[in-house]
Amino acid sequence: MAAKPSPEAGGRPSRKSRCSRKLSVYLLAIFATVFILFHIEVLRTPESSSWDFISTNYKNLRTVFLDCTTKLQESVTFLPLKDLRYSSNPLQAHTWFMSSMNDTHENGEPQYLEFPSTASKERVLCLKGKDVHDGSLNSYALAWPDSLPPNATLFTGLTFVSYNHYNYDNLWHGLSSVVPFVAWHIKNQCSALPARWVLYHWGELRSTMGPWITSLVNATFGELNIEKFEGFDDGDGKMSSPVCFEKAVVMRHAEAGMSGDKRLPVYDLVRCRARASCNMSSEGRLSDVDEKGIPVIGMTMLMRAGPRSFKNESVVIGIFDRACRKVEGCRLTVAYASNLSFCEQVKLMSSTDILVSPHGGQLTNMFLMDRNSSVMEFFPKGWLKLAGIGQYVYHWMAKWAGMKHRGAWRDTGGGPRPYPGGTSTTGWPSGQG
């Protein structure tokens, strides 16, 4: 009788052996499941902890940032626009207008302040105050764009801020305030036009320019928008909150510091745009000939009424008329600047080669002539001795605009100059205009 095979002999496994294998499989499965679950929890726990850490730190950082911003806003310091400490030399160096600031001056360009810029540490200009009687009550400050002072209003676009030590009505002084902005405009490839102008005289806000200056600015830069800060009253005539400017350019020296080669293109540009605004050809006198084909020589006597006008106008006109008749092609025109519109003055100067006029603001029109035109200027008795540097401004302007100042005739007769030895409150000779 054959013996039963044993496991050791390679026969069928016993029931006990089969149970052991199943148990091992079950245990392995359980172990694997526990292992997987454990690692899922391990992986998930750090993720949750990291998010909580980031979230908590973000809140902390945001709190710190807001706290710093608030401190920066509240630390903005406003200073007087007109610093009375420099009242004895208001136009020297940094001037008494925004006295804490130093100008940028490069390559014969006008002296200017620009905000924001490297010089301002990328801070923008803020103003507070619209007083028209005391500039020391108006103030300015610098602030970072994301930390403007509390309740500040940001004005977008480019703002021209002008300081004029004299006035914006007189043609000469008004033009002197505009020229540096035109130079800055040219320096920046004529790419930027002002959204608004803010005008100051001795730190006091001004809301108008003279009609002639207004027309010139309109022709050069587009419609003039003078900021009056309306809607910012606190009920006492003062500003209730500050205003800041996205971009601002400040001029406080007029044409001072500009070189001749920088002035010439300024007058060329203004002349060109004035003629274009008045629908005139930019060719000027080059195409003007008489019926015989002879080039016309335009002589204009630009008269004025009041101080420094000719007492015997008919006699003076007769002298120049006779002189003009001796030159073929010469045409004499007699006009009063006060009776002409801006465009009529532009047209008249565009047809003028020789300008004859008493000293006065009407001579400012000379730059509207073509280059190399001539100027003859007349002074009343006493001006050589008593009038100061103001008597030379049209000599300078003729040179700056490319004209030829042929000399000044000084009256030896007549009464003494009014207010002998005196000067006006602006520092210019009394009665000058």
Contact indicator for 349, 335 with CB cutoff of 8 Å: no
Across 18-22, 187-191, 335-339, 344-348, least confident range: 18-22
Burial label for 171, CB within 10 Å (0-12, 13-18, 19+), is: buried
Name the pTM for this structure.
0.80
Please tell us whether the domain made up of 290-410 is placed in CATH 3.10.20.600. no
Taking residues 103-116, report their average pLDDT. 95
In the chain, pLDDT over 70 holds for what percent of residues?
A: 76
Tell me which residue of 193, 184, 165 sits closest to 87, measured CA to CA: 165
pLDDT score at 129: 85
Instruction: Determine the Cα–Cα distance for residues 346 and 141; give it in Å rounded to an integer.
Output: 41
In the chain, pLDDT over 90 holds for what percent of residues?
A: 63
Contact indicator for 201, 159 with CB cutoff of 8 Å: no
E-assigned strand segments in 277-340: 297-303, 330-336
Tell me which residue of 233, 167, 152, 231 sits closest to 200, measured CA to CA: 167
Question: 57-72: per-residue pLDDT in tens?
Answer: 656 666 655 556 666 6
Residues facing residue 344 across a β-bridge: none
Taking residues 153-181, report their average pLDDT. 97
Taking residues 23-31, report their average pLDDT. 61
Question: 319-328: per-residue pLDDT in tens?
Answer: 999 999 999 9
Tell me which residue of 298, 356, 349 sits closest to 327, measured CA to CA: 298
Sign of CA dihedral 90, 92, 97, 100: negative
Across 102-106, 119-123, 360-364, 406-410, least confident range: 406-410
Each domain of the chain, given as residue ranges in start order, spans 79-261, 290-410
Quick check: 6 pLDDT over 80? no
